[in-house]
Amino acid sequence: MTKKHYIYDDELKVEREYAEVGGEASVGDYVYDPLEGPVSKVTYVTALEYQLNGIFYFDKSRMRKLAPTGNVRVPKPDGSPGETYALTDRKADVGERIIITHPNHRGRILEVTEVKSFGDFVSSTPVDGIGGIYPYCRTDEYTVLEPIEPAQSPPQSSAPASPEQLFANLVRRVAELEQKVRVIDNYNDENDAIRRDLQTFAQVAEQAKYQAKHARDLSEDNSKDIITLDERTQPESLAEAVAKEQAESKRKFDAAKAEYFRKGGCV
């Protein structure tokens, strides 16, 4: 994070915020000396050095140029650092704070109590309690102070963990990894079960297909047998078959009888 510097503005009576930037400074700029610490104003520039505050010369390479950020810090009544605000050129709303830039009251900080319906005027009252109500302030006579949320400070580093804490953390981490492994194993088991179910289903489907074909073929054979049986059981066919059987029986009887008499038998 770029280091911030605050330089008091005698006219506005607030501290202006500056940040370190790259580049070479010009006369009127502020520079910071990381080795010595103070912030100084450049009053003269040579090829290799800056003159600071009209007195001393310092090597340019050791200085850091500062540039305003557009923010100000309003000191508290006791002089201690106060809140930081962003300077914004716009018409204020009721409840906002403004800082007067007009030469007559430059630096006064007021709170807006009413926004006029005509023109760009606002009514305001001093925050410091000095003086009465300012009934008319034009937008070109003040700048709005927008509060800036303070940056969250980084967490404080804690003491080094003890061996017991390290071991406990290791045990907890191992347990978490084991749980993840179990989840993966369960997932693989579920996939294997699904794969086996699909294979079984395919086998059952193939068997059902074969049985359906066999049943169809058997049905066709039965149909042929039924047709043949039906033809054999018709009345005409049945009488003809009986007559044939009787004729054949008579023929066999006559043949047997003739053979008997031929051999000398008697009736």
Q: How far is CA 78 from CA 74, 75, 83, 144, in A?
A: 11, 8, 13, 23
Query: In the prediction, which pLDDT does 261 show?
Result: 62
CATH of 83-149, one of 1.50.10.10, 3.30.300.130, 2.30.30.30, 3.90.550.10: 2.30.30.30
pLDDT at 166 over 70: no
Q: How far is CA 177 from CA 15, 21, 44, 161, in A?
A: 55, 48, 66, 22
Confidence of residue 92 (pLDDT cuts 50, 70, 90): confident
- Out of 105-119, 168-182, 202-216, give the one with best mean pLDDT: 105-119
Q: Once rounded to an integer, what is the mean pLDDT over residues 60-84? A: 85
Q: Once rounded to an integer, what is the mean pLDDT over residues 191-199? A: 70
Query: In the prediction, which pLDDT does 207 show?
Result: 74
Q: Once rounded to an integer, what is the mean pLDDT over residues 166-186? A: 68
CB distance 62 to 74 below 8 Å: no
Q: 46-50, 75-79, 176-180: which has the minimum mean pLDDT?
A: 176-180
Query: In the prediction, which pLDDT does 266 show?
Result: 47
Give the pLDDT confidence of 3-27 residue by residue, as tens digits. Answer: 789 988 888 888 999 999 888 999 9
CB distance 141 to 122 below 8 Å: no
Between 140 and 266, whose confidence is greater? 140
| Domain boundaries of the chain, sorted by first residue | 1-78, 83-149
Element (H, E) at 203: helix 163-232
142: Cα separation from own chain's centroid:
44
Give the pLDDT confidence of 129-142 residue by residue, as tens digits. Answer: 555 566 677 888 88
Q: 105-114, 125-134, 140-149, 240-249: which has the minimum mean pLDDT?
A: 125-134
CB distance 48 to 58 below 8 Å: no
| Average model confidence (pLDDT) across the chain | 75
